[in-house]
Amino acid sequence: MELLKKRILEVGAVVSDQILKLDAILNHQVDPQLIKAIGQEFARLFGESKPTKVLTVESSGIPIAYATAYELGVPLVFARRKKPVTMVDDLYVERVPSFTKGIVTDIMVASEFLKADDRVLLVDDFIANGDAARGLIRIIERSGAELLGVGIAVEKAFQAGGSSIRERGIRVESLARIASLEGGRITFAD
Ligand code: 5GP
């Protein structure tokens, strides 16, 4: 997606060979026009498969997932990382390592919001090693819902997450694929 790549080049800060900071548009401050365009693109890519839910994990996945769900006209469900007192019923809980925080956290979804007849589009901001996506996929599998595919804004193609999920026969669409961050330079894969 050319607009996303352009914005990444304008505001992206290379923190290390492994980490790209997009706090100006995605991860702290949010660019609503860009996020809206991302939502439209995911809706265009996955709309034909008729999702009934868009699933992400808090917090940075939420704006993109919201924009996508809005375009598709379906609810957004975001997995929580902390259990609020209101979340008392049946939960699907999965333990996942957090790439940027360097810790292991639980992610959880109340079973009332993910049913066996749901057709789920999974959406997230970044994919690195794929732990967050795999945790969400395990939750979808446990619910009995159908996973239609995975929409990722920024795939770091030099890390294994995207390819490991594609190898399982799951459709993964990334709007910007980064081949390398070496030497402080952002190089796209295509
Ligand atoms: P994974 O679970 O695929 O290893 O990492 C994905 C999660 O870690 C994403 O939800 C994202 O929030 C965060 N993440 C991974 N790599 C980066 C990065 O280079 N920059 C930022 N800002 N977040 C990242």
Q: Please tell me the distance from the alpha carbon of residue 128 to that of residue 130, in angstroms, as a whole number.
A: 5
- Rounded Cα–Cα distance for residues 139 and 132 (Å): 11
113 vs 77: CA distance, rounded Å: 7
Per-residue model confidence as pLDDT tens digits over 51-63: 999 999 999 999 9
Say if residue 106's pLDDT is above 80: yes
- 58 C-alpha vs ligand 1 centroid, how far in Å? 12
Domain extents for the chain? 2-188
pLDDT at residue number 87: 74
Q: Rounded to whole angstroms, what are the CA distances from 158 to 18, 107, 147, 165, 176?
A: 9, 25, 25, 14, 13
Atom of ligand 1 nearest to the CA of 128: 3
Nearest atom in ligand 1 to 130's CA? 3
| pLDDT, tens digit (0-9, with 9 covering 90-100), for 107-133 | 999 999 999 999 999 999 999 999 999
**Backbone dihedral region for residue 149 (phi beyond 0: left; psi -120 to 50: alpha; all else: beta):** left
Neighbours of 79 (CB within 10 A): 24
pLDDT for residue 100: 84
Pairing of strands 119-127, 146-156: parallel
Answer yes or no: is 39 a known binding residue: no
Which carries the bigger pLDDT value, residue 87 or residue 97? 97
Angle at 4 between CA 43 and CA 135, to 5 degrees: 60
pLDDT tier at 101, thresholds 50, 70, 90 = confident
Digit-coded pLDDT (tens) for 131-175:
999 999 999 999 999 999 999 999 999 999 999 999 999 999 999
* Amino acid at the residue 26: L
Closest ligand 1 atom, residue 181 Cα = 19
Beta strand pairing call for 187-188 and 172-180: antiparallel
Give the Å distance between the CA of 158 and the centre of ligand 1. Answer: 13
Cα 168–171–172 angle (5° rounding)? Answer: 100
> What does the pLDDT read at residue 124?
98
Q: Tell me whether residue 132 is annotated as binding.
A: yes
Cα 75 to ligand 1 centre (Å): 24
Q: Which residue has the higher pLDDT, 190 or 103?
A: 103
The CATH-assigned architecture of domain 2-188 is: 3-Layer(aba) Sandwich (3.40)
CA of residue 64 to ligand 1 center, whole Å: 14
Mutating to test ligand 1, I would choose from 125, 152, 180, 181 the residue with most ligand atoms within 8 A of its C-beta, which is: 125
What confidence tens digit (pLDDT) does each residue in 4-46 have?
999 999 999 999 999 999 999 999 999 999 999 999 999 999 9
Q: What is the ipTM of this complex?
A: 0.99
18 vs 9: CA distance, rounded Å: 16
Distance between start and end Cα atoms, the chain? 11
> What pLDDT does residue 152 have?
98
Around ligand 1, the residues with Cβ closer than 6 Å are: 19-22, 27, 60, 99-100, 124-133, 156, 161
Average pLDDT in the chain: 96
pTM of the complete model: 0.97
CB 110 within 8 A of CB 91: yes
